[in-house]
């Protein structure tokens, strides 16, 4: 664990040039990556490709990427009333609700991580998030809900009220008013699916970013592993906390520093603990998780934020996760990494 200065300098990623005596530096030309970006899943995506195969046109690849993202939105968007997930949430019957294999896979992974973290990650938590005025349709005035309101909403929150089967794919709810929100795991799933598509197309050097959840393979335009910046958890400015070399891994970050409100001198952040029904109050500012699966990293980052600095670190050590925790300290931020994370950043 090392202290981090209150105002960290922004890291600049520069090309190192060797200069011999009385000789002009020779700078190799840096290839320009092919870049695609646009809105998706209520957020933004970016795909960068180095060395696009000669038999693959950029316009064709862009259409394939947009089609893949559009298909995922049609399945798992909570913003689209016609999505498969919206239909499942409206369904109040006690029978199995047929879903796609992709939706079943994501819900299955979400329930497994919910079980692994003893409810710190819970895809049914959205009603509590809305109760605290952090949902997509925010009220003009923030307020702290009463204990009675929290307990009433908690009755329809709990991942164990959901069942999933893979064949035939379907989801069943114990209560008709239970709803599922996959926003804490679907962006990672989207990054994984795009990466798989690029692999199938013979692309070996790429970076995929869906809403800040990133997966990368191969080398960047300078022939180095992709350099992914983790943002410092500051509320007033945007600075880089640490740069991570990424090749064959994904990184997902969760934090308490962007979405919050204050009332009577108390700050309430958007990360709600499903077990208590209340926003987290500990000193963990952000968590970054490295994993081969971006979907898994996405969900675990949220779970570790709920668990907090001590329980989260112990959980990560127990399960041998590559994790960076940034903690509010008396003199600024303090970093705490697990050994697998240290090995990656020291490469």
Q: How many structural domains comprise the chain? A: 1
- Answer yes or no: is 91 within a domain: yes
- Answer yes or no: is 106 within a domain: yes
- Cα(341)–Cα(322) distance, integer angstroms: 4
1 Cβ neighbours under 8 A, 6+ residues apart: 334, 335, 336
Other CB atoms within 10 Å distance of the CB of residue 194: 25
Cβ neighbourhood burial of 292 (10 Å; 0-12, 13-18, 19+): exposed
Confidence of residue 28 (pLDDT cuts 50, 70, 90): low
- Cα(213)–Cα(186) distance, integer angstroms: 10
- Answer yes or no: is 319 within a domain: no
- Answer yes or no: is 95 within a domain: yes
Query: Residue 116: in which H helix or E strand, if any?
Result: helix 101-116
DSSP-assigned letters across all residues of 135-156: SSS--SS--PPPHHHHHHHHTT
- Cα(115)–Cα(119) distance, integer angstroms: 6
Query: Residue 268: in which H helix or E strand, if any?
Result: strand 266-269
- Answer yes or no: is 125 within a domain: yes
Contact predicate 334/148, CB 8 Å: no
CA atoms within 13 A on the CB side of 295: 20
- Answer yes or no: is 195 within a domain: no
- Answer yes or no: is 19 within a domain: no
- Cα(171)–Cα(23) distance, integer angstroms: 68
Residue numbers of the domain that contains 168: 80-173
At 245 the pLDDT is: 96
Domain of 140, CATH number, reads 1.10.3980.10
Q: Which of 321, 315, 313, 319 is nearest to 340 (CA)?
A: 321
Q: Across the strands, what pairs with 139?
A: none
Q: Which pTM was predicted?
A: 0.88
For residue 167, pLDDT beyond 70: yes
Segment 264-323, tens digit of pLDDT: 778 778 899 999 999 999 999 999 999 999 999 999 999 999 999 999 999 999 999 999
Of 8-22, 164-178, 208-222, 232-246, give the lowest mean pLDDT range.
8-22
Tokens standing for 300? Answer: 């675990």
Q: Which of 240, 208, 103 is nearest to 162 (CA)?
A: 103
- Answer yes or no: is 24 within a domain: no
At 346 the pLDDT is: 87
Segment 212-266, tens digit of pLDDT: 999 999 999 999 999 999 988 877 788 899 999 999 999 999 987 667 777 877 8
* DSSP state for residue 28 in the 8-state scheme: P
Q: What angle in degrees, to the nearest 10, is found between the helix axes of 101-116 and 58-76?
A: 60
**Region 114-132: what's the mean pLDDT?**
96
Contact predicate 184/159, CB 8 Å: no
Q: Across the strands, what pairs with 230?
A: 242
């Amino acid at each position: 664990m090392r202290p981090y200065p209150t105002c960290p300098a922004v890291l600049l990623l520069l090309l190192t040039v060797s200069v011999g005596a009385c000789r002009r530096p020779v700078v190799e030309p840096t290839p320009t990556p092919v870049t695609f970006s646009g809105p998706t899943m209520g957020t933004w995506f970016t795909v960068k490709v180095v060395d696009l195969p000669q038999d693959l046109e950029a316009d064709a690849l862009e259409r394939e990427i947009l089609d893949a993202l559009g298909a995922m939105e049609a399945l798992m968007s909570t913003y689209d009333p016609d999505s498969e997930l919206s239909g499942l949430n409206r369904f109040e019957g006690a029978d199995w609700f047929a879903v796609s294999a992709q939706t079943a896979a994501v819900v299955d992974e979400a329930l497994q991580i919910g079980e692994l973290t003893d409810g710190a990650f819970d895809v049914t938590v959205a009603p509590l998030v809305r109760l605290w005025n952090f949902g997509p349709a925010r009220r003009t005035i923030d307020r702290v809900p009463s204990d009675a309101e929290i307990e009433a909403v908690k009755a329809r929150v709990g991942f164990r009220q959901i069942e999933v089967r893979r064949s035939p794919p379907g989801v069943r709810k114990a209560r008709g008013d239970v709803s599922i929100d996959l926003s804490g795991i679907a962006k990672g799933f989207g990054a994984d699916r795009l990466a798989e598509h690029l692999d199938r197309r013979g692309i070996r050097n790429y970076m995929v970013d869906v809403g800040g959840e990133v997966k990368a393979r191969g080398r960047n335009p300078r022939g180095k592993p992709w350099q992914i910046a983790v943002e410092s958890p500051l509320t007033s400015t945007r600075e880089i906390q640490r740069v991570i070399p990424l090749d064959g891994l994904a990184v997902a970050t969760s934090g308490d520093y962007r979405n919050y409100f204050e009332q009577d001198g108390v700050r309430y952040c958007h990360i709600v603990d499903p077990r208590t029904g209340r926003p987290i109050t500990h000193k963990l500012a952000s968590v970054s998780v490295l994993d081969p699966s971006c979907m898994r990293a996405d969900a675990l980052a949220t779970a570790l934020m709920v668990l907090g600095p001590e329980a989260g670190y112990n959980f990560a050590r127990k399960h041998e996760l590559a994790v960076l925790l940034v903690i509010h300290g008396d003199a600024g931020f303090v970093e705490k990494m697990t050994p697998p994370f240290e090995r990656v950043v020291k490469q």
